[in-house]
Structure formats: structure tokens, C-alpha cells
Structure 1
């Protein structure tokens, strides 16, 4: 009996440790607020409760986040989760963000954001801003850090339709990851660097699904295959799950897909908008 109890406690603690926290925005209370929950949809916490619109939350550290807030103008707000303390932080020098927030590197102080038609990298230690995509035609956006902090993924439409690219920050080499005649966008690489997840209408024109591409074999898998729209897919820190947004149940909710069991679970249960999930990249 004692052995059974110890095993049960160990399994419970293991489950607790494996839970990662998701940031997302939701309009369930009448205006857009920032929420946080576990990767299985449990322990929902509302982080902002102001009268203003707040969206595009991102992780800075495990205890600090940033989001955009609409008052008279759009401002960037930094929030310490453990205390609720918040303060305004400046917009990038070369543009004012209005849609997507700055993304903080998982391994350094570098900051990544889209500005005008390009993607910029800001080094706060040197106070230097670099345009990473100025030599690439078209519009570059929907940037994402790789887990190693050495590469980034982004979307560009230079070929006439959206494609997903990878840029190596050390070698400056650029790789075209999707080379289809479809709308392929908002990509992210798995923690082990083997898989690319992205939104695409390759299997049905004008219907965005979530696809996985094996970067070694090129094999494509449609993990949603629904008549609805699916966008913004992101890997869990252990690479076992993919979080994404979908309106398959009549309104936008957040779902998870387990790569091992191939099971899809709905994480949010509300009639309002829930979307743009972000996890803390360790």
C-alpha cells in the first residue's frame, strides 16, 4: 500500500512538472484580455483586467511577459506575473508595433519583430537594430525563434504566394522550407529541429489547415483536415504537442494535438475569441 501511494505521488508530481503554461488573448469578458493556463487547459488565470484592449502576449522570462494595449495609442506593457506589477516599455526605434509583439530570444537578449515589410533584430546590449530581410523582395512577417536561438522562421510572399523560410543568424544563410503553390505561413520548428509546423491551404484551396513537414524526408501530414480555418501552430517545449487556434466549433478556440497519440483536444471552452497561444521556450 505504501509503495502504491509513493508511486501515485511520484506520478502526480511528474505530471505537475510537465505542465507548461500557455499565454493567450481572449475576449470572453467583453474586451480583449491576457490569460494564462496549463498545457492541458487547466488552471486558467486572467492576467489583465483593464477596460482597454490587450493582445499579442509574449514571454520575456518565466515570470515576465509583454503585451500590446490600446488606449489612445498602442503601447507595449511589461507585466510581472508573480506580483501583478506592470510598466510601459518603449516601442522599437524604427516603427510602432500594432499587431504582433516583439519576440524575445530563448537563449539571449536579442529581440525579433516585424516592421513595415521586413523583420528586424534588436540587440539591447549594443543598442543596434538590424534589418534581416531587406535583400529579400516582398513582405516578410510572422517571425518565430527556433528553440536554439540561432535561427528564425518567417513568412515571405516574394514568389507570389506565402512561403516559409528559415534564416541562420550565424551564417546568414537563407533556406526556403516550403516550395508549393499554396498559402504557407506562420511556421515554427520543433525543439529537436526535425519538424516544421505551419498553416497551409495546400490540401484544399482557401482552407487553412495545420501541416507538419518532416525536414529530412519532406513528408507532409495534415493534422487538422477540417472544413474550418486553423492558424498559429506552436510546439510544446518537449516537442510532443502542438497548440493551435481553430474556429471548427463555431468560434475561435485553442486546441492541442498530441504527436504520439494523434489526438486533438480542445483547451478553451468559451463562446468568445480565444487565440494566439504562446509557450515559454526554455
Structure 2
């Protein structure tokens, strides 16, 4: 996972975990509803995590009096989920579930002046647009498009529908050889033939159609059959497209490249398509990095978007730009905030932009005054906010922490908050959570590093506890107040482990220098930061320094493999999930080559490139002769970001070295574990390994 994609990922993960829409039909649907789980012992369990409802998107009615939102419910026995729609008053009262179906209602919005709710559902096996009354009655299908509708936005005047659907961009083997209809071979002639977890044969395109309130007509492909993506894979959605206020133009995000050019470049742009002239204008051509997520101002005079400066650097500072649509003047307005601008929304008067951003391990809501480009924090506390939107004279957002999953909050501009949903109250009431605290530690180069420490419930400082070092992925993803359904710190604490989670070098929220230091230095200062965190905590009398473990995923998995060859017997066991073991192979195997070029410093065959040579000299596989500690390797075979052979090679190396090892392979999972039974298996295997080699290790 990488910071540039966090916002898009949250929606994509939920859709994927819910089973998507492409393979869903009426015959295999099961109604899954809110769990009434009973928990013994007040400790978090895998079953408790999967029993939780997961709040998705939300929408405020035009009059500001109602809020609609979705919740996904999971069934471990059925190994699937479905999503339902809820409506509540603006103060959280009279909260009602208005759908009770086995389908996937999602992307809920208010239409027709707030008299109807629009949403996507797969009632008939494909994802189409529906409407219903705010009480759930009057369900009606509005589209019958040939393909799946993956996202949509109705124009401000209500007369047009902008929607996303896949178009075929690659010739298949059967296209080339019609007499071989059962052939399974795939012929590849250029790069980007795989992306994230799929073989690339299609691209998402934005379409505009006339909408009369009952159906669509006169459908136009804005990209006019070009072989490009808009929104961009793998996580882009409707947030990458925007209507102007007069409903005659659409701004869209696109990287107009294919094959090798696509694989090595992050240079996407914001284009404006004129529905009347059919002409397209690139408004960000001079910028060479990512330009994404356009939003028009309410007065129609400006457009805002997120922008990264450098081509190929996907973890570059995510800046907020605005452009005067009359003069063409562009302005970098978020200079005062030395971290990434994540979700954002225009204020009603177009004089302020509200956004979320990570600073010092917390994602807060900020107000950016466009009169002087000053930035002021609205919220505070040990929380992460996301998905901010206008809510009358307030804001509305989801909020979570290391001790609680997403709930919806209203946020006054003075920072006071009101919790509007209590989706999992019946579960939290049965649980005792461990304390979370932040500690600042002095690093080996004299800087200060924030480290989160999570303690077991009923923590007793007079006892000694086994302790885990958590290694974050990304490598530029923040250790903020995140809530995960796999890497959940509270379930680790519930198993009587202390968790040490440092914001080591390379993580956003501590300034540009801190964030950028990691590129080209994977085996350097960030590893020293890990040692600082665990060594400082090991000085505490309640930390059993003879029972330490080390766990992590993605870059965190790389960290585990690297630390296994350098830890000087600090740890009793390791767990690496989807980690990089052999850097030379990773350079060639990963699909997004821009990332490898930037973060590794170049190709391993560039012998005169000192940065690249330092990177590859620190490949974990080169230090296997020093491995002496039990290791569990986990990987998904549909992970095309880091291929599963990395884990297999690490496991084989450990076994051949005589090191106790275990391999957990998922043939049907990608970089994340999304299916309920696989998630429970992950948790059980995780703790069985740690309990065997760490918790039950002899203490001196």
C-alpha cells in the first residue's frame, strides 16, 4: 500500500470484499444481516472483527435534513457479504435500515431534489443504476446498460448521467485465433499486461448519457474509444470525474499512456470535455506528476485538484491546486501544509476548502482559507477522519481510531464533534480495548520519531509481556490512527501482546524530508528507526526483551525479511506478509515500474548508479546465511504488485537453512486478504505462530 492511493483504496477494498458485481447473480445471493454475536471474556477475536458492520459511503440530502449511507455485513460461514442502505436524520436520530436484500446496494446519492435515492445494485447479475424512495419503497431500475456501471454522477441540472464502465482494449487469443475458442494462453506484446490482481484486457471509460429520470439515451464515450483509463486503475472511482455547475462540461483524470510508457510514468492530467463542442482541453499539461480528483467550486469560477510534481514518484507531496476558469491562473494553495492533502471539499461560499491530511500520526480535518492560503486545523485528538463533505453549516466525515472502526460524525467548524452512527456499539460494549499512547523517541541521527504503543487490556505494569514490532508497508503509508480488519492492533493486544508501531523514516505527516528519506535507502535509516523503537521499549520493565516478535506486510514484509538477517537475536519469531525477498526479481516482476525506478533508484544492471547498487546490495535474500529465527511467510497468488514467489523463495531458503518456517499461500487473494474465511485463517495462523515461538518462549 502507498500513501498516494489510500483514499481510493478504502472504497476499492470494500467493494472487493463485498464480492464486487461482475460475478454476482440472483442464484447465489444470500441475505446477510447485522450480527448478534455474543463475545466471552471481553477480548477481541477474529469472529468479532468479521461480525462488525463496515460503513461505506454517505450522502447528505439537499435540504441537509437527512443522511443516507451504506453498511457492509459479512458472513464467515457463507464466506461473502452484502451491503445495505440506511437513512437517518441529520442529528443521527430515527436511523432506519431501508433495504433488506441479498444484493450490493452501494454508491447511494440523493436525486430529484431529495425526493429519491439513487444507488447501484446487482439485482439482475450486473451493476445498474436504481432509485427508491427515502423509506426504501418504490425500488426501480433506471438503466439497462450492456456492461457494469461501476460509478456514476448525475449532472447538477438532473438531465444527464455520467457513469463509468469497462471497454475492451486488448485483443484476446480467441480474437486472433477464432478456431481456438478453448485456448487459455495469453499473448503479451507490451508492459502493463497485469495490474494489481487482474490481467488487463479492459479499461474504465467515462460515459455521458441523457437522463430523463426514468432511463438513459444518447450514450457518448468521452474518451472516444481511446485505449486509456479514466478513472485510473486499480482504485480510481467517480472521485476522478466531476461535473461543472452548468452541466455542460466534465473534468476527468487520465494518464494517456499505454504499455511501457504507462508502466514507467505517473504523469496523469486533468482534462475538461465540452459536451457541446465535443472538444477536450488538458489543463495540467505542464505538470509531470499525478494530477487527479478534480472538483469545481460551487460558484463555477474555479476548479481544484490534487497534484504531485514529479513524474514517476507516486509518494510525492500531494498538493492542492486551484485554477481560475476565466483567466487560467493556477495556484498551489496548500503550501502551508507540509503533508499530503487527501479528501477535500469546497466550502459553500467557494472561499474555503476543507480537507483531511495526516500530521504526526493523526488524520485531521483542516480549513484552507483561499484569501491568504492559510491552513487551520479544525479537529484534534487521536483519530483519523476521512471522506469529508459539507453538512449545512457543519461538516460530515467518517472517523476511526486504533480502538474503533468507522462511524459517521458531524463536525462543527469550531471542532466540536457529534457521533451520528453507532453501527457496532453492541460489539464494542462487549469488549475491553487496550490503551493506545504515543511516544516520541530519539533516533540514531538525533531526530524525534513518533511511535504508537498499544497495551493489552487490563495491562499490569508489574508483569512482563511479549512484545511485537510492527513494520508498516507502503513504504510511504502513515502509521496513523488506522483501523484494520487484518492488521488490527486491538486483537494483537487482546492476545496479551504489547505492540510497538513506529512512524519510521519514509512515512508522511512529519515533513517532506522525513517522507522522502527512504527512497533509495531501504536497508538504511528506516531499519535503524525500527531498532530504535524496539530497543527503547525493551528498556521498560514490563516488556519482556526475551520474548520479542517482528511482523509486517508489503514493505513491512520486506522489512521483516531484511531484519531476519540483521537483528542480532533480538527477536524470537518473524511474520512477513506479501513482502519483498529478492529485490532484483521484484524490480522486474512488479507491474508499476515507476515505483521500482524511483524507490529503488534504478535498475540493478546500472552498475554505475550508486543509489541503485546500494538498494540491491540490501536485498534480504543476500543475508539468508544469517537467518536463525523462526519465520512465517504469507502471500496471495493474485498479488501482482509483489509476486507470491517472493514468499515461496523465502520459505524455501529458511527450510534449506534449517530455520523453522511455515508458508501460508492464498491462491485467490491479492495483496490483501479480503474473504471472510481467509481472514479468520490469517488471524488463527498469525497467533498460533506467535504464541508458539514468542509467547511460549522461555524468559530469562
More strand by share: 1
Where does residue 280 of structure 1 map in the other structure? none
Of 371, 390, 396, the residue aligned with 1:243 is 396
Aligned residues of 1:164 and 1:185 also touching (Cα < 8 A): no
1:151 is displaced (CA, Å) by 2.1
1:252 is displaced (CA, Å) by 0.8
Where does residue 140 of structure 2 map in the other structure? 85
Aligned residues of 2:121 and 2:130 also touching (Cα < 8 A): no
Where does residue 198 of structure 1 map in the other structure? 355
Where does residue 9 of structure 1 map in the other structure? none
Where does residue 67 of structure 2 map in the other structure? 22
SS in 2 for 1:182: coil
Where does residue 100 of structure 1 map in the other structure? 237
Distance 1:87 1:182, change over 3 A: same
Where does residue 270 of structure 2 map in the other structure? 119
Q: Which has the larger radius of gyration?
A: 2
Of 144, 162, 166, the residue aligned with 2:322 is 166
Where does residue 229 of structure 1 map in the other structure? 384
Distance 1:28 1:120, change over 3 A: farther
User: Is 1:182–2:339 an aligned residue pair?
Assistant: yes
Aligned residues of 1:196 and 1:215 also touching (Cα < 8 A): yes
Partner Cα distance (1:241, 1:209) in 2? 15
1:153 is displaced (CA, Å) by 2.1
Range 166-175 or range 21-30, more displaced: 21-30
Partner Cα distance (2:301, 2:286) in 1? 20
Partner Cα distance (1:128, 1:26) in 2? 40
Aligned residues of 1:28 and 1:271 also touching (Cα < 8 A): no
* Structure 1, unpaired ranges of 5+: 1-16, 273-282
Aligned residues of 1:143 and 1:154 also touching (Cα < 8 A): yes
> What's the CA shift string for 1:168-196, capped at 9, x where partnerless?
33333222110143112222221112222
SS in 1 for 2:309: coil
Partner Cα distance (1:226, 1:235) in 2? 21
RMSD: 3.6
Partner Cα distance (2:94, 2:246) in 1? 28
Distance 1:80 1:138, change over 3 A: farther
SS in 2 for 1:27: strand
User: Is 1:39–2:194 an aligned residue pair?
Assistant: no
More helix by share: 2
> What's the CA shift string for 1:49-107, capped at 9, x where partnerless?
55343434445542466555579998562536474323236531334656422544444
Distance 1:75 1:258, change over 3 A: same
User: Is 1:266–2:423 an aligned residue pair?
Assistant: no
Distance 1:174 1:141, change over 3 A: same
What is the total number of aligned residue pairs between the two structures?
Answer: 252
Aligned residues of 1:119 and 1:131 also touching (Cα < 8 A): yes
Where does residue 153 of structure 1 map in the other structure? 304
Where does residue 104 of structure 2 map in the other structure? 53
1:111 is displaced (CA, Å) by 3.6
Partner Cα distance (2:130, 2:281) in 1? 23
> What's the CA shift string for 1:237-272, capped at 9, x where partnerless?
x4x10111111360111111122x642111122029
> What's the CA shift string for 1:116-153, capped at 9, x where partnerless?
43334444445555444344322222333321133222
SS in 2 for 1:62: helix
> Equivalences for 1:132-151 in 2 at 5 Å?
132-151=283-302
Distance 1:62 1:73, change over 3 A: same
Partner Cα distance (1:164, 1:144) in 2? 11
Where does residue 257 of structure 1 map in the other structure? 411
Kindly indicate whether structure 1 or structure 2 has the higher relative contact order, using CA contacts under 8 Å at least 6 residues apart.
1
Where does residue 207 of structure 1 map in the other structure? 362
